[in-house]
Amino acid sequence: MVIKNSANFIGKKSVMIVVITIISAIVVLLSISVIIRFRIFFPTSTLIWENQNEKAPTVVEEICKARYAVYPGPDQLFPLFSPNKQYSIDLENAYFGQSKAIKLFNINTNTYTGTYFSDYSDFVIYCWAEDSSGIYVADYEPGSGSIFVIGGKSSKTSPVKKLLVP
């Protein structure tokens, strides 16, 4: 009787080990799937930037010597070339159209250099630096509704950043 019960116990233990192994494998596969999806849905910027202390109007008027930003603006011509014609940027939808990205290309070598993903749903592109060392941008979230609509949100703009050319 003791031998029969111990054999039954060993059989149940083996089944439990197999079940636990299968569950562990499923958890590992799901974890890998979540990590892969996280990288797809939330990609990271590959361009380095400097935060600028100037406010947006100062950047446009003093640094860019212009009346308006390049994007959004009346002349949305892309790709937008650097003053030395060595680099260009182009716009791309990111996060399945929920946000925007700036892609930087090196014209001389015909290569992709890096990407900047907006923290908000859009951004304002002000201008290239005169020495082609970077481009001035700010993340932008458009508002919804008006002042007469309850629950409407106002637009917001991040501090100006200078995306550095590597």
The string of DSSP codes covering 23-83 is HHHHHHHHHHHHHHHHHHHSPPP-S-EEE--S-HHHIIIIIS-SSS-SBSSS---SSEEPT
Per-residue pLDDT tens, the chain, 166 aa: give them.
445 555 455 566 777 788 888 998 888 887 776 655 554 556 678 888 888 765 555 666 777 776 666 766 656 666 688 888 899 888 888 766 667 888 999 998 989 999 998 888 888 888 888 888 988 888 888 877 666 666 667 778 888 888 898 8
Pick left, alpha or beta for residue 46 (phi over 0 → left; psi -120 to 50 → alpha; otherwise beta): alpha
pLDDT for residue 93: 80
pLDDT of residue 122: 84
* Nearest Cα to Cα of residue 122 among 151, 144, 93: 93
Q: What is the pLDDT of residue 111?
A: 92
pTM of this prediction exceeds 0.85:
no
pLDDT score of 2: 47
Q: Return the pLDDT at 86.
A: 93
Q: What angle (nearest 5°) sits at the alpha carbon of residue 59, between those of residues 54 and 121? A: 90
